[in-house]
Chains A and B, each alone.
Chain A
Amino acid sequence: EAGVAQSPRYKIIEKRQSVAFWCNPISGHATLYWYQQILGQGPKLLIQFQNNGVVDDSQLPKDRFSAERLKGVDSTLKIQPAKLEDSAVYLCASSLVGIPEAFFGQGTRLTVV
């Protein structure tokens, strides 16, 4: 069974530029999460989807971050404009509805210079 796929693996951008990350969850997983992991810290939830609906986006900085999951499968996370403090690994995870186990992708390492 294929795992959670994320791209790109690495991205370097200048501050005030925009960037987008893509995630394809495990087949059949209706719940999808985006996490931000700053170096040396645990992952912090940005947004949680179930199918194409948002379950929790309370910690998403909505002035610069946006995410969508239009067809209830893959998802994109966008940052515009990026700030230096956005440098982190962005992790995507997915799970089945009603099952608590979540599985993570390898992440996208973003460096803002």
Chain B
Amino acid sequence: GENVEQHPSTLSVQEGDSAVIKCTYSDSASNYFPWYKQELGKGPQLIIDIRSNVGEKKDQRIAVTLNKTAKHFSLHITETQPEDSAVYFCAARGNYGQNFVFGPGTRLSVLP
């Protein structure tokens, strides 16, 4: 089955700097890659996603890139703010009907 690895497990950046979180997946049939942000005591919130027919997607300060050949995808956050501090999870999903497999998470701390 699918296996998703995520690095780093923790990341501290200064406010205004950029943050990058990387994930790799094992199943070449996976075709949908969402990123979730989870704040303390809350459920995961979908922040951006990318499908396998797209190499990059941007939404304001957040971007995701996908390299299908290498089977890895990354989350990029620019101009980080203290409210970006949270745990971020990547996930991979195959064809419709298959469930998401999540990475272990990255705890991002944005220092003021």
Contact = CB atoms under 8 A, between A and B. Distances in A.
Interface of A: 4, 6, 33, 40-45, 48, 50, 55-56, 91, 93, 98, 100-107
A95 to B, nearest CB: 10
B8 interface: no
B9 to A, nearest CB: 9
Most buried by A among B43, B49, B97: B43
Interface residues of B, number: 26
A41 B41 CA distance: 14
Contacts of A48: 99
A98 B96 contact: yes
A78 B101 CA distance: 23
B34 A105 contact: no
Contacts of B49: 100-101
Contact of B46 (A6, A98, A101, A105): A101
Lowest 6 CB-CB distances: which A-B pairs, in order? A42-B102, A104-B43, A45-B99, A100-B32, A106-B43, A104-B44
Contact of A100 (B4, B6, B93): B93
A59 to B, nearest CB: 9
Contacts of A40: 104-105
Most buried by A among B36, B100, B104: B100
A98 B42 CA distance: 26
A45 B44 contact: no
Contacts of B105: 40-42
Contacts of B102: 42-44
A81 B104 CA distance: 28
